Amino acid sequence: MYKSSLVLTVFFVSYVNVIHTATTKKDHVPGRSALDNFPLVDGHNDLPHNLYLKLNNTLKGFHFDKNLTGDAVFGSSDCSCHTDLQRLRKGKVGAQFWAAYVSCDSKSENAVVRTLDQIDVIKRLINRYNNDLELVTTADGIIDAFNRKKIASLIGVEGGHSIGNRMSVLRLFYELGVRYLTLTHVCHLDWAESAEIDKTNSSTIGLTNFGKKIVLEMNRLGMLVDLSHVSYDVMKQAISVSRAPVIFSHSSARAVYNHVRNVADDVLVKVKENGGIVMVNFYSGFIASANATIRDVVNHINHIVDIAGIDHVGIGSDFDGVPDTPVGLEDVSKYPDLFDLLSELNPDRWTIKHLEKLAGRNFLRVFKEVEKIKESLISEPPAEDLLEISNQV
């Protein structure tokens, strides 16, 4: 009895689905068309770190215009590599934040200098491939580049260790074109704790007074405050002190998969109040316990919309920075499949207009607001605070 009614139900549901698909297929616009209307902005790609690891930042023998899928170095299994120009184009990427990242090993040594190397290699890459890439430092610049069919290329510094505890370096990074600073990477700083602390629930300093002043100085400069990688406490403290909307350049939802790199629901509520954005990370290890697929990414995106609303979600793949990618989202050519799938699974939520928000409209709103707040703070003097410790870099 139970079994036969289940079979009937399954039959009925499939039948309804068939009818539904048949009636909607005809005039259903594929989700990927959103990416032709508005630039897809990806919050985080670690290609520059791979240029350092594999080529010591030497571009002479690097062929970014070739399909690198089968390349001996950039296509090999020991390279966390997912990016080249052909695949970026196929993936309809409109704007990319390239991460200027140096490992925490350099923290008390030469982090600042090595970060300059990474900013420099990003600029050399953009110049070398300037038929396709264009250095962009403003929200309007993203739209202009998109209209000229260029991939807007922005720079984000991943990890506060890169500023060597100095406001001066933060300001000069801005002058070099850097538009976000991730407050920490995986190491704790003298002024902020990383998400690693949440693994043992042993938070002590959170965001210190100096850390809060860094956030305020970033607001004054027009530098986006990136809270991916910081601890739960630092997320909340930074949001409450920031005068501008914040971003998570590459983080997903803790309620969907409990990992310290993801954002908890109560923080998602704060992001909504703050007007900020969580740009969803695709890394298999952050989105599911095993066998991650594109469906898991859909679940993270939908959860963030459920809690924070449609205006506070974006994309921050983490391509080139992770050893495993989900089935269906293997490299930068696959974003259109994600947009198709969202609209296929839930056409009522994921209208083309809403897919444009996910792709880039939400991020553009945040960036413009950060620029507006910079303008409003134009008469505020630069912060002259020094970190009161002896082991400055």
Ligand X SMILES: *[C@@H]1O[C@H](CO)[C@@H](O)[C@H](O)[C@H]1NC(C)=O
* Catalytically active residues, by annotation: 44, 46, 158, 185, 229, 250, 318
Stretch that binds ligand X, among 11-19, 67-75, 126-134, 161-169 (CB under 6 A): 67-75
- Check if the beta carbon of residue 204 is closer than 8 Å to that of residue 190: no
Q: Which is nearer to ligand X, 72 or 290 (CB)?
A: 290
Distance CA 119, CA 251 (A): 23
- Check if the beta carbon of residue 377 is closer than 8 Å to that of residue 219: yes
SS3 188: coil
**Options 4, 5, 147, 201; binder of ligand X; rule CB under 6 A:** 201
Distance CA 317, CA 334 (A): 11
- Check if the beta carbon of residue 134 is closer than 8 Å to that of residue 152: yes
Determine if 346 is a binding residue for ligand X (CB under 6 A).
no
What part of residues 93-152 is at the interface with ligand X (CB under 6 A)? none
Determine if 90 is a binding residue for ligand X (CB under 6 A).
yes
Q: Which is nearer to ligand X, 170 or 267 (CB)?
A: 267
Q: Which is nearer to ligand X, 200 or 204 (CB)?
A: 200
Stretch that binds ligand X, among 28-36, 63-71, 279-287, 338-346 (CB under 6 A): 63-71
Stretch that binds ligand X, among 82-90, 129-137, 248-256, 364-372 (CB under 6 A): 82-90
Determine if 236 is a binding residue for ligand X (CB under 6 A).
no
Alpha helices for 94-196 (secondary structure H): 111-128, 139-147, 167-175
Q: Which is nearer to ligand X, 82 or 374 (CB)?
A: 82
Q: Which is nearer to ligand X, 91 or 164 (CB)?
A: 91
Residue from 256, 160, 275, 142 nearest 213 by CA: 160
Q: Which is nearer to ligand X, 90 or 124 (CB)?
A: 90
**Options 26, 290, 348, 378; binder of ligand X; rule CB under 6 A:** 290
In what helix (H) or strand (E) does residue 44 lie, and over which residues does it extend? Answer: strand 40-45
Determine if 69 is a binding residue for ligand X (CB under 6 A).
yes
Determine if 77 is a binding residue for ligand X (CB under 6 A).
no
Stretch that binds ligand X, among 85-93, 95-103, 175-183, 371-379 (CB under 6 A): 85-93
**Options 67, 138, 203, 293; binder of ligand X; rule CB under 6 A:** 67
Determine if 200 is a binding residue for ligand X (CB under 6 A).
yes
- Check if the beta carbon of residue 264 is closer than 8 Å to that of residue 306: no
Output the smallest distance, CB 69 to ligand X, in A: 4
Determine if 349 is a binding residue for ligand X (CB under 6 A).
no
Residue from 371, 336, 348 nearest 35 by CA: 336
Q: Tally the residues of the chain.
A: 393
Residue from 211, 197, 203, 114 nearest 160 by CA: 211
- Check if the beta carbon of residue 159 is closer than 8 Å to that of residue 102: yes
Q: What is the DSSP string of 294-333?
A: HHHHHHHHHHHHHHH-GGGEEE---BTS-S---BT--STT
**Options 4, 5, 204, 291; binder of ligand X; rule CB under 6 A:** 291
Chain contacts with ligand X (rule: CB under 6 A): 56, 67, 69-70, 86-87, 90, 200-201, 290-291, 333
